[in-house]
Structure 1
Amino acid sequence: MSAETRAGGGAPGYRVWAVPGIPEVQAGDDLVKVLAAAVMGEGLPGLADGDVLLVTSKIVSKAEGRIVRAGDREAAIDAETVRVVARRGTLRIVENRQGLVMAAAGVDASNTAAGTVLLLPEDPDASARVLREGLREALGVDVGVVVTDTSGRPWRSGLTDIAIGAAGVRVLDDLRGGVDAHGNPLSATVVATADELAAAGDLVKGKVSGLPVAVVRGLPHVVGEDGSGARAFVRSAADDMFRLGTSEAVREAVTLRRTVREFTDEPVDGAAVRRAVAAAITAPAPHHTTPWRFVLLESAEARVRLLDAMREAWIADLRGDGFSEESIAKRVRRGDVLRNAPYLVVPCLVMDGSHTYRDARRNASEREMFVVAAGAAVQNFLVALAGERLGSAWISSTMFCRDVVREVLALPEGWDPMGAVAVGHAAAPPRERPARVASSFISVR
């Protein structure tokens, strides 16, 4: 029974069974003929309109010749990998050429001859379409076809079958815009129907029982013309909140931090900035101190008042240096990145807890220690902003007029401004950073 029909007032239900009698599939075999003969075997219910055929990807791969000699399975994984998502020792979770995120790119060394590995079908959706059309022609039935593979899942232990290819199946059931049984609006509910079918079939196919095919009957509402295929399951990079593993995300976040000098008018979420501050203050610091303070300029009035005072101080310095008015105007325009940003942050260094020595050399080193700690906090802050999808630019200008900044912002005497950070949504992607070879910056003793 389908979830939409009830016989005699009974509860909705469906039936699922494994298909026995499928021989070892070889490269070049006509899989449609193999499946048609098996599903119509003696004692089986056969196939009917509205059934869903669940086919393990291994036999599809074998029929399509996706068997490769591989003394080194890692080399085969390399060839199928588009992007490494996470790595722990030899285990790799990667995005493969089909767009799927899987362990070992879906390369399988089980149920295949020694010295060979199985690759996933080149295009699982196309494979499903071929099987569906072939069964329609051979048996005269309109069925859905799902090509399945075994996969782990984020957040949960254990493996389950998922749909990697589909034809004639509504792979996703989008319930958004409807209401639940209590009348509450559904705003985020999209059911992974094809994955649920794959998992149901796996309960009867099993992993080692030699039953690579199953049939689901009683859910005709999930069968129909649907051109999206299982590719619809793959999230875009922009929508994937878990695109990387932990260590990979840390490395990417560091390189993602780029200087952004042009911003849109979109407001900045103050909560995101505060989360970035929370990351900033995990920086290392001397003598178990907390030498960082962050002044958040969230009002336009505060930003303009500070920047106007800083500009006047800068102009006075430049005139004292003998620069022409034209040259002064050109230099002052460099500060427009702060003036045009929708949000400013002034990180400050506080020397509370520092040690005092009898000589200038050690006192200078003591301050440098605290300055390094402040720099580490600023870097943490900028990286965390990038993780919040906020652009930033660290500008040193407040360090050249600390007294002015303290006066305008009414800061304590012991707070030393360490530049200013412009924050906002980038108006355009930052330019590519020139490649730097790490070995050029390393000296080994």
Structure 2
Amino acid sequence: MSAAQVPGYRVWALPGIPEVRPGDDLVKLIAAAATAEGLPQLADGDVLLVTSKIVSKAEGRVLEATDREAAIDRETVRVVARRGTLRIVQNRQGLVMAAAGVDASNTQPGTVLLLPEDPDASARAIRAGLRTALGVDVGVVVSDTSGRPWRAGLTDIAIGAAGVRVLDDLRGGTDAYGNPLSVTVVATADELAAAGDLVKGKATGLPVAVVRGLGHVVEPAGDGDGARALVRGAESDMFRLGTSEAVRQAVTLRRTVRAFTDDPVDPGAVRRAVAAAVTAPAPHHTTPWRFVLLESAEARRELLDAMRDAWIADLRADGKSPESIAKRVRRGDVLRGAPYLAVPCVVADGAHSYPDARRGAAEREMFLVAGGAGIQNFLVALAGERLGSAWVSSTMFCRDVVRDVLGLPENWEPMGAVAIGRAAEAPKERPPRAADDFVVVR
């Protein structure tokens, strides 16, 4: 391979761009810097890397703000993680970054910079303007500095793009050894942004850089998908929340599901939920939780049929009419419609004996409360696994029947049944509950 055939590219910063102010013609400023004597002239296939700060300034995204936190609040759509005063949030542009991208550096004291309203549109405007001003067809990347999960330090990422292939999908190809590439999608626009940052710097007054030699990443027709395509959707984001935020959201998402799809339930997910359940507090250092997992349709049918027969017998003994009995029995259909059932039980091994009924009743209640705490952990963990659930009390009314059908020891007390599966429909909006309505302070 000759030297001319060795893959490579060149990157350089554009000097001469003055301090940008609201209303400045950014295309004019860049074009003047790019055509300065002694610099390579922009050419078709080049990629222009533009720091978002000068785009924000030109577009008037400078905010008089003595309270940066208030500005962050206004730009925040969703809090991802919070540690003290540091917030990682999703902003109105869909980006997840510290402080919503609100920046108090490189701007006048008493002001903050917001990110461009639509960074992709900003990139398209710069590209079109340079095509008109200089007659060149270049790609444009608008970049901003961001941290990354699992990695120390900051780097520039693409928040806006035009005329650039932002993602290079290599899936379906093979590597040098013939192995199939099944998950490789390269974030090309982010790599370009990071390359430009190496020559722009953070405090050198060089907000624009040019990359040459990578013409294959420039879209020959149209502006491409834009950097918005780099934002991972919620359905494929495995790390959408920080730890404490994930716990709070799982608690919030824990809703009673009344209708399930036929999608099978991963037994491993249920066992992970059981592992969370048995971390609940319990009296006397005991472990009173047991979970009977009904993974076969035959086991579920046998239990539910026996419980239905026992329920009907009880209702007849109460003098209920056939119509009333049929209506009540239909309420149990939520269990029959679920592809997976769990029967949580409490085993009061280790309970203390007391000579009087008062303390004996309190001792039993301690174990029942511990059972409820374990079940709550279980339901919240299922929500974290993206599984819906419904905790139904029916097994508590026919414990002998449940023990007989499932072959459980006499001292196992079934604490209802939990239907598990994928929700067939989105839950209805639930009115917010104010914590103060449930608090008494003394």
SS in 2 for 1:148: strand
Paired position in structure 2 for 1:405: 402
Distance 2:223 2:26 in 1: 22
1:223-276 Cα distance to aligned partner (Å, 9 max, x none): 113431111111222222222211111111001000011111111111111111
Who is 1:176 aligned against? Answer: 171
Describe the superposition over 1:159-206 as per-residue Cα deviations: whole angstroms up to 9, x where unpaired: 000001111100110111111111111111110000000000111111
Structure 2 counterparts to residues 108-123 of structure 1, below 5 A: 108-123=103-118
SS at match of 2:153: strand
Cα drift, residue 9 of structure 1: 6.2
Tell me which residue corresponds to 1:3.
Answer: none
2:373 to 371, 376, 380: 376
Identity %: 81
TM-score, normalised on structure 2? 0.97
Q: Structure 1 residue 316 and structure 2 residue 313: aligned?
A: yes
Question: Aligned residue for 2:325?
Answer: 328
State the one-letter code of the partner of 1:407.
D
**Is residue 102 of structure 1 aligned with residue 93 of structure 2?**
no
Name the counterpart of 1:394: 391
Aligned mate of 1:79, from 74, 77, 80: 74
**d(CA) in 2 for partners of 1:8, 1:362:** 89
Name 1:36's counterpart in structure 2.
31
Rounded Cα–Cα distance in structure 2 between residues aligned with 1:336 and 1:144: 58
**Equivalent residue for 2:40, pick from 36, 42, 45:** 45
Q: CA deviation at 1:355?
A: 0.6
| The one of 268, 272, 277 aligned to 2:269 | 272
Aligned to 1:437: 434
* In structure 2, distance between residues paired with 1:390 and 1:151: 33
What count of residue pairs does the alignment treat as equivalent? 440
1:54 pairs, out of 35, 38, 49, with 49
The structure 1 segments of at least 4 consecutive aligned residues displaced by more than 3 Å after TM superposition are 6-10
Q: Distance in 2 between matches of 1:341 and 1:209?
A: 62
Aligned mates of 1:329, 1:146 — CA distance in 2: 65
1:41-81 CA distance string (max 9 Å, x none): 22211211111110111111111111111111112112212
Q: Map residues 217-256 of structure 1 onto 2, 5 A cutoff.
A: 217-224=212-219, 225-256=222-253
Q: Which residue identity does 1:430 align to in structure 2?
A: P
**Where in structure 2 are the equivalents of 1:118-133 lying within 5 Å?**
118-133=113-128
Work out whether 1:307 is the aligned partner of 2:300: no
- 8 Å contact kept, 2:56–2:113: yes
Report the alpha carbon displacement of residue 10 of structure 1 after superposing the two structures with TM: 4.5
RMSD: 1.2
TM-score normalized by structure 1?
A: 0.97
Give the secondary structure class of the aligned counterpart of 2:332. helix
2:355 equivalent to 1:358: yes
**82-91 vs 400-409, which deviates more?**
82-91
| Equivalent residue, structure 2, for 1:422 | 419
Do 2:124 and 2:223's aligned partners in 1 also have CA atoms closer than 8 Å? no
Q: Does 1:293 align with 2:290?
A: yes
How far off its partner does 1:8 sit?
Answer: 4.1
Structure 2 stretches lacking a partner, 5+ long: none
